[in-house]
Amino acid sequence: MRDNLKSAVDLTSYLFSLPSLHVMLAGMLVAAVLFGAAINILQPSENFILRSLQDGLLVLFVPAALTTIVVKILIRKMPLKSIVATAFAGEVVYGIAYVVAFFVADISQFYGEMVLLTGAALVFIFWYVIARIVFILKYRSILFAIIQLLFYSLFLFNFQTVAIAEGTLFDWATKAYISSFILLGALYIFFLIINAPMKKTFGVSSTDAVSLFLNQWIYKKNDLEKAFEKLGENARTLVGVVGFGRATDRILFIVPYVHFGPFGSLGGSEFSHLIAEEVKSKYGAEAFVFHGTVTHDLNPTSSSEITKITKTIGKMLERAKFDKKTVSLCTGKSGECIAETLVFDDSAFVGVSRAPLVTEDINFGLGLSMLLEAEKHAKIAVVADQHNAETGEITSFEPGSIIGYNYISAVANSFTKKGKEEGLRIGISLKHPESATLGSGGIKIAVLSTSPNYVIVLLDANGVTPEFKMKIEGEVKKLGSFAVGVFTTDTHQTNVVRGVLNPAKEKSEIIEAVREGVKEAIADMQPASAFVDKEWFDIRVLGAKHSIEIVSTINSIVAVAKITAPLILIGAILVLLAILSKV
């Protein structure tokens, strides 16, 4: 399963951010000029530069620009940047095909024309696929493919290219559209093959699923949640709360046992900061939202599921009894696993980690085992995954594994090493430095009056590299004698550019925010009373079965596509050659 998940996740590495609009427009001009120079290089003349500019602009740049303008006029909401990127890519393919055809025509007029027609057909298909899947234009996609081919056909017929494209403009355009529709037919056959597994298993075609996926990834739209709702299943999980009551305010450590995924704004991806905002708005408390011991199996199917969590938190606050308590910090180890436990008289808050070894998601069953182990020593406990060592390994920790056993043992050992009890005091600070690796929750810092004081640094991030974790700890310890716990929320809000691993890395703005935040939190320390509670609730999630099915289906589709795509393409080109040789 781990290898299957890695294979599926690796597909996201093909996603990338587009360059700026100015860079792409400049690239279109440069590509056109280089093309003009390439087709004129064997025919040097006094007007070489002028002819190169003329041919490049007329044959490539002008039709690409016209296509961009027409598409933007027809669909005003379409980002100009996306249209220009598509036009630029099509221009490059046309340019390569033109240059190759120009030289091949010296050997064979027929094959030179075939290269040109094949290139035109490939760009036709490229425009259709982008418009259909990325721009999500189900029926109008064919229109844009037809329009761009028309513009290129009109400007193709200048004195340099007539020698390649025989006959009239009408003859050439007829052949170009025949070629394009032959490849379009091949594409539909390919779509039928790759759509079948997803359609059969989940009731949605692969192409529609990719469209919905890209719609969220690029445009931040949540239409994919409708599919999740159909696939999802009801689950029962819990939320734990450690509450601190001070003279003028309340602070909550919240551990919802749901996963903050799958990505962007889908499902529970933004819950790490949305829960905090809801709690602040409804209950007037500052909330630190931690990562529960859960995996992607407990991804909420839609963002609206947040109300089930906040209502459950509200229930606990209604019955909460803030009592005067002492606090102590105890650390337990077993193998590579570490448990940092804050004990509040008869209750506890436990953070677990394997840092500097990979510290990733923990199966809910294993998390419950740790919770039950903690509650052998405390009346009530809450366990959080510190999720603080992202090494690039995609994994999760399961019941029955050696690592799972070590986690449980580390929790048990933490209660055998009693720390010095101190009167409970707590101070906090909230920071929001500019960083692409931080979600909307920013950085939250809490300092508790253990001996030595325990500093919690909670990053609203998808993880943190082991090196940066150690850097943060080192910087905090420069400010005084502290124990430091670095946590991340594992928010998937930041997973919207490329790949699915976006850990916080060495950044001066984050370090500076942590330094200032620790100083502010120390200055903010006040006596506090506390309570610890947890509550079960029902929520709709993607579920373990569907998570496995989705990953397996994606990998099957990719495996089939790798074989069928080149075979269908080769077959289509052979059919194209056979038909055009008789036209």
pTM score, whole prediction: 0.75
pLDDT score recorded for residue 385: 97
CB 286 within 8 A of CB 430: yes
For residue 240, give the amino acid letter.
G
Number of H helices and number of E strands within the chain? 17, 17
The whole-number pLDDT of residue 29 equals: 92
Which one-letter amino acid corresponds to residue 573?
A: I
CA–CA distance, 264 with 65 (Å, rounded to integer): 32
For residue 274, the tally of other CB atoms under 10 A from its CB is 21
* Average pLDDT per 10 consecutive residues for the chain, totaling 583 residues: 47 61 91 85 72 84 92 83 90 89 80 86 90 79 89 71 62 85 91 80 70 65 64 89 96 96 74 95 96 91 91 96 96 97 96 95 95 96 96 84 96 91 97 91 97 97 94 96 96 66 85 97 97 96 66 69 86 83 69
Residue-level pLDDT at 217: 63
Peptide bond into 262 cis (omega under 30): yes
Yes or no: say if 264 and 502 are a contact pair by the CB < 8 Å rule: no
Amino acid in position 219? Y
- What are the angstrom distances between the C-alpha of 420 and each of 79, 251, 344, 451? 60, 23, 12, 6
Q: What is the 3-state secondary structure (H, E, C) of 101-150?
A: HHHHCCCCHHHHHHHHHHHHHHHHHHHHHHHHHHCCCCCCHHHHHHHHHH
Which residue, among 83, 71, 88, 70, has the nearest Cα to 23 in the 3D structure? 88
**Size of the chain in residues:** 583
Q: Pick the closest to residue 547 from 309, 262, 270, 302 (CA basis).
A: 262
490 and 451 Cβ atoms separated by less than 8 Å: no
Contact (CB, 8 A) for 547 and 261? no
Distance of alpha carbon 466 from alpha carbon 354, whole angstroms? 10
> SS3 for 327?
strand
Q: What DSSP letter does each residue of 153-174 carry, written as one string?
A: HHHH-STTTTTTS-S-HHHHHH
DSSP state of 507: -
Tell how far CA 134 is from the center of its chain. Answer: 16
Residue extents of the structural domains in the chain = 2-218+551-580, 233-542
Query: What are the structure tokens assigned to 375, written together?
Result: 């509650």
Q: What share of the chain is helix, strand, coil (3-state, %, to 5)?
A: 50, 20, 30
| Other CB atoms within 10 Å distance of the CB of residue 252 | 23
Q: Alpha carbon 399 to chain centroid distance?
A: 27
Q: How far apart are CA 86 and CA 196, in angstroms?
A: 28
Q: CA–CA separation, 121 vs 176, rounded Å?
A: 7
